[in-house]
Chains A and B, each alone.
Chain A
Amino acid sequence: MAKITVDGNEIEVEEGRTILQALDDSGLLMNGIDIPHYCWHPKLAVDGSCRLCQVEVEGIPKLQIACDTQVKDGMVVTTANERVRRAREGVMELLLVNHPLDCPICDQAGECKLQDYAYEYGVDASRTREPRRALKKRVDLGPTIVFDQERCILCRRCVRFCREIPKTGELAVFNRGDHSVIDTFPGEELNNDYSMNVADICPVGALTTKDFRFKIRVWFLEDVPGICTGCSTGCNVHLGVANNKVYRYVPRRNDEVNETWICDKGRMSYREIGSADRLDRCSVRNHEGRFESTSLDAAVEASAARLAKLVESKGAGVIAGIASAHATTEDLFVFRRFLAALGSETSGVAVVRGDSDDILVREEKAPNAAGARAIGFADAKGVVDRINSGGVDAVVMLGHDALNESLLGGADALRGLDTVVVLDTHASELQHVAHVMFPVRHAAEKHGLLVNAEGRAQRVEPAVEPAWEAYSDGEVLAKIGAALGLEGFDGRFDVHEVSRELARSNLAFSGIDLDTVGAAGQPLATVVADSPATGGEPR
């Protein structure tokens, strides 16, 4: 370890780290000690070209760039004196010499580092009278990204990203000097599974995503912390919310989970939240076999009546439960208790599997498979086998992941059953076979915990309030349980209370409380990850 002093703050850092890394490690960078930077990014190789992070190091006559100067024990760094200020001012002025200053029509305005640093470290008047560089304003780089060459400040973060993270290397700097432009190689396009991250790391408005471009001014957006539900990695995101609508996901840094990245598929999964196929009302199948909307109470009543009848005639053994790894841990815990109190002996969690890579994408396409397993749900395969062999008369299902090829293979497998009760966020084939359907909330619409593949409990909170009827799974199950007169069910559902009860009753969750889990999540007490995932050890 080395001890360094930055602006009077003593910091202990690992040997071999650079000044910027040391400040980043200690959480002080841009949070107490401001060293503006463009080309440096905590998760990319050092470039050392923007020259904005120059600082004074005692004993070295020239200013040094903080991104590429390794700490030495006893090093004394000054980041805020007249000389450093002048150097920053100089770099800012030069960066703006050719910048089009088209902030009024630039999508980055409001979250632009060039704007921010120009206010903070720049001069307020321009001394240049020369014509600015005229370049292409709308270069279509590929399916996801549009590039404005004029706004680019050539920090080359995007170039390094493509080389170092997806390792596809589509981007390069062409030409040299002030003719330099970023582009793809002739005939190639920027097209990889992580391509949209370049828009996040672009400090200016040069790279924007086709998806978010011109949708809304960023200062209208509220950033709500949340979790991507695309796979079991559980990438941390900020949901950009305005007008009770989610406009985008951007990755939220969590070095234990997704660093600063998110895959394109996951990023685009925000669209599921407000999609047109959301279930928006409770429905019950009537005597003529037609589905009709009804009230929550009527749907609860109908479910309870059907299940009670079956218990009476055949016993609870013919009732099966299929859980969803999209539900929160609290919802799943209530479901688990519901099935136990009912006396059902057949249950499992349905998880859709798909492609994975060695960066972030995992095979299990739901955010809470590990949570479901920790609560005690086995794979839904057993349930499916029993249904197919005719040993089941009723199913209570969360979500529709069980329709997947590898499990039920479609709704027809449930057609002959006496009772199918479905709690789901989105419409599916289940509409054709269900007897009762409840519209439930998406993870972006409720409080709860999701446990990722590495066994890390991560919190979600309501970012938007559905403009239609929607309930937590736990809320619906609590009501059905009460209607059935099950032990421990009084019809109430308090997610915080459920979380505490889970912590008390399940060793894996001991010490984990929805109200105290921090922004970076908290690992389960015992590791339960039966993880087909790649990369990273369970922590």
Chain B
Amino acid sequence: MSENVPNDLLYTEDHEWARQEGNLVTVGITQFAVEQLGDVTQVELPREGETLKRREVLGTVESVKAVSDVYAPISGKVVKVNSPLHDSPEYVNEEPYDGGWMVQIEISRPDELKELMNAQAYEEFLKEHEG
């Protein structure tokens, strides 16, 4: 897998990534999404404690040229948000899989994990859908 699509993550068709650790997933947007958006200038995140359903809008990412929704890859409770993104939205551009993470969700429906793509499937998805 290329470094743009890390092996240890799960992916959605809307270009979110999810890193599972026990009953928690950390969520962000992929390198591909970041390249499409360009310079990110504002990130809106949910409140800690909020409950989200899979595919519900979790937050928004605004770049200079566009605004884009971020969807919850999995249902659950938001236990942590990456609040430094409020003041430093550029982390999303600089390190989308690291400092640019957005929320941590406590999984309420573990079987939903099966609906996410692994790295290989996501790479194929990118090839097919985005040229």
The reply to whether chain A is a binding partner of chain B is no
Residues of B whose CB lies within 8 Å of any CB of A are none
Residues of A whose CB lies within 8 Å of any CB of B are none
